[in-house]
Amino acid sequence: MFSLDAIQKFYARLGKIQPYFEHAGLPILGIFIATLLVSLTEPAIPALLQPLLDKGFVGNGLSLWKVPAAIIGLFALRGLAGFLAQYFLAVLSNNAMQKLRTALFAKMQRIRINELAKTTSSSLSNTIVHEIQNGTTQLVNSLLSILKDSLTLMALLAYLLYLNWQLTLIVFTIIPGVAAIMKYFSKRLGGIAKTVQKTTDDLAYVVEENVLAQRMVRLHQAQGLQTARFELLSAALRRLSIKGIMGGSAMTPLTQMLAATALSAVICIALWQNNAGTSISVGGFAAFIMAMLMLVAPIKHLSEAAAPLVRGLAAVERGLDFVDSLVDETSGRLPVPMQKTSTALRFNNVKLRYKDASGWALDGVSLTIQTGQKVALVGTSGSGKTSLINLLPRFLEPTEGAIFLNEQAIPEWDLAVLRKQFAYVSQDVVMFNDTLGANVALGDPNPSPSLIQQALQAAHLDELIASLPSGIHTVVGHNAAQLSGGQRQRLAIARAIYKNAPILLLDEATSALDNESERAVQQALDELMQGRTTLVVAHRLSTVQSADSIVVMSKGKIVEMGTHEALLAQGTHYARLYQMGLAD
């Protein structure tokens, strides 16, 4: 039998899921009543057989229509109750699935960005979209099956006791055996289910990687190696799936063998009772055998319910673990933007170390940026420029030191208000599979078509819009793949222009543009930067010569700072970069 500890652990696991089934009293009540009706009608079937055999064939006055009418009415009641049970089940499972799926997606939107590095996008999408749906459906279906078959089992056993308690005692002997089989296979199937989940994620990740790196795979003739990698994981998943099916399938013949053994014993003892003069009627014996055989189905279903129950619970728990394990972003309480001060941004001895890194990404950075000032960050790759930029909207948190916006430490700001102060264009452009207009006005619940047009025009995309039959309502596809690299970059710039934030963060914002496009967009950016505080991470030093201050970084430290002319005159770090013609 199941141990008390195992039962307690199972209920504890169900307790984690319970909040997603709140306010589901009516569906649960409907399922219970409908299932109870179906279960209680099970003994009625063999019960109708007894008078039919004892009276119907011996001319004992049993009306011809009574048993057929009772059978029709019985199955009509069972059909209606079964339909209602399935209806309420669908309402219950889909409501819970929607709540859990929404909770997972909302969690993804508020966790710290560096927490996403703990998982892959394919694993995350598989959990939110597929595993939650399959897991919730399997879990609720399994629990319904357990409820229905448990009630049916009790009803049939009660009827058997009523007919012949001595023979029924033999039937009870198979229950411990079934429980032992279920315990063994449930534990085994639980381990297999978790391994299948991980292997499925790994397989999906290989597909995701190869879609993203298709050009490199073909250029380097790596199709064979990648196919072998896919086949290795696919074969492992196949083996695990077969193991799971074999484990689930083995329970059925074992429980049937127990039932067959008990049936043989019942027949032998019934014959002995008949010879001893304590026989029951033919109808009673036939009803007993029929009811006993009907026990096989719920016992079989109970043994089979373990596999989908374990798989469903494991899938749902994985989603709950995602909710519980990843850390949310924290927010301050400054509800509205503070009045602008002469100092827009101030870094005070800021240090940053990435997890598991041996050195500092930023090492004691102190920097003051005045309101309306244009500051350029230059330096070789890995010098900390992008890390510094990402600290401002709190995409990263400093390990030591403090950062101030308008003389208020940025953790004190309400997070949404803080991020409204920044418009950000990075070298990694990300677009949604939506219209051009929706991508430009991202986050605006009431976008202005005229402002969208102005932003696109300022980003020198007006010719592109004019060439599209649907204009700003054209869907750009997955990550705007139908646009050129330069057009995508300018679309990102149009998004920053539309946001009209007081501080601009430009991380290689023109890196994907050709010379002609860069000049055009740079002119638009120059106009946009008027009166705004701007931080520019630059690849081409020619784009930052007009900056109020150029900050040269190396190995996470500021090594020199000044205007273009002053830094050239010093003839050190910046001058060497300038002679190379680039800063990265």
Q: Work out the end-to-end distance of the chain between its first and last CA atoms, rounded to an integer number of angstroms.
A: 68
Q: What is the mean pLDDT of residues 386-391?
A: 92
Higher model confidence: residue 515 or residue 367?
A: 367
N residues, the chain? 584
Residues linked to residue 424 through DSSP beta bridges, in sequence order: 505
Give the rounded distance of the alpha carbon of 94 from its chain centre. 16
Phi and psi for 468 in degrees, rounded to 5? Answer: -95, 135
pLDDT at 419 > cutoff 50 = yes
Domain assignment present for residue 245? The answer is yes
Q: What is the mean pLDDT of residues 552-578?
A: 90
pLDDT at 550 > cutoff 90 = yes
In 3-state terms, what secondary structure has residue 138? Answer: helix
Q: Which helix (H) or strand (E) holds 179?
A: helix 174-212
In this structure, are 269 and 152 located in the same domain? yes
pLDDT at 60 > cutoff 50 = yes
Domain assignment present for residue 462? The answer is yes
25, with CB counted inside 10 A (0-12, 13-18, 19+), is: exposed
Residue 430 belongs to a domain with what CATH number? Answer: 3.40.50.300
Q: How confident is the model at residue 1 (pLDDT cuts 50, 70, 90)?
A: very low
Strands 408-409 and 400-405: antiparallel
Domain assignment present for residue 51? The answer is yes
In this structure, are 284 and 176 located in the same domain? yes
**Residue where a domain terminates, one of 474, 500, 526:** 500
The domain in which residue 453 lies consists of: 422-500
In this structure, are 56 and 162 located in the same domain? yes
Domain assignment present for residue 112? The answer is yes
In this structure, are 188 and 318 located in the same domain? yes
Question: Counting runs of H as helices and runs of E as strands, what totals does the chain give?
Answer: 20, 10
Higher model confidence: residue 84 or residue 583?
A: 84
Tell me which residue has tokens 């357990």.
146
Q: Are 544 and 571 spatial neighbours (Cβ–Cβ below 8 Å)?
A: no
Q: Which helix (H) or strand (E) holds 551?
A: strand 549-554
Residues linked to residue 554 through DSSP beta bridges, in sequence order: 557
Give the rounded distance of the alpha carbon of 171 from its chain centre. 46
Q: What is the pLDDT of residues 233-247, one digit of tens each?
A: 888 888 888 887 777
**Residue where a domain terminates, one of 484, 500, 516:** 500
Domain assignment present for residue 553? The answer is no
Q: What is the pLDDT of residues 315-346, one digit of tens each?
A: 777 777 777 777 888 888 877 666 667 778 99
Domain assignment present for residue 90? The answer is yes
In this structure, are 316 and 426 located in the same domain? no
Domain assignment present for residue 548? The answer is no
Q: How confident is the model at residue 404 (pLDDT cuts 50, 70, 90)?
A: very high
Q: Are 119 and 133 spatial neighbours (Cβ–Cβ below 8 Å)?
A: no
Q: How confident is the model at residue 388 (pLDDT cuts 50, 70, 90)?
A: very high
| Sign of the dihedral defined by the CA atoms of residues 495, 500, 506, 508, in that order | positive
In this structure, are 293 and 430 located in the same domain? no
Q: What is the pLDDT of residues 513-545, one digit of tens each?
A: 667 667 766 776 777 777 789 999 987 777 788
Q: How confident is the model at residue 584 (pLDDT cuts 50, 70, 90)?
A: very low
In this structure, are 136 and 283 located in the same domain? yes
Residues linked to residue 549 through DSSP beta bridges, in sequence order: 375
Domain count, the chain: 2
Q: How confident is the model at residue 349 (pLDDT cuts 50, 70, 90)?
A: very high
CA-nearest of 432, 467, 468, 437 to 451 is 437
Query: What mean pLDDT, rounded, does the chain reach?
Result: 79
Domain assignment present for residue 512? The answer is no
∠ CA 300-302-307 to the nearest 5 degrees? 100
**Residue where a domain terminates, one of 325, 352, 381:** 325
In this structure, are 318 and 426 located in the same domain? no
Residue 320 belongs to a domain with what CATH number? Answer: 1.20.1560.10
CA atoms within 13 A of residue 261's CA, in its CB half-sphere: 12
In this structure, are 321 and 427 located in the same domain? no
Amino acid identity for residue 20 in this structure: Y
Give the rounded distance of the alpha carbon of 543 from its chain centre. 42
Cα–Cα distance, 449 to 455 (Å, whole number): 10
Phi and psi for 341 in degrees, rounded to 5? Answer: -115, 175
Neighbouring residues of 553: CB distance < 8 A, sequence distance ≥ 6: 377, 378, 379, 383, 384, 385, 388, 559
Q: How confident is the model at residue 583 (pLDDT cuts 50, 70, 90)?
A: very low
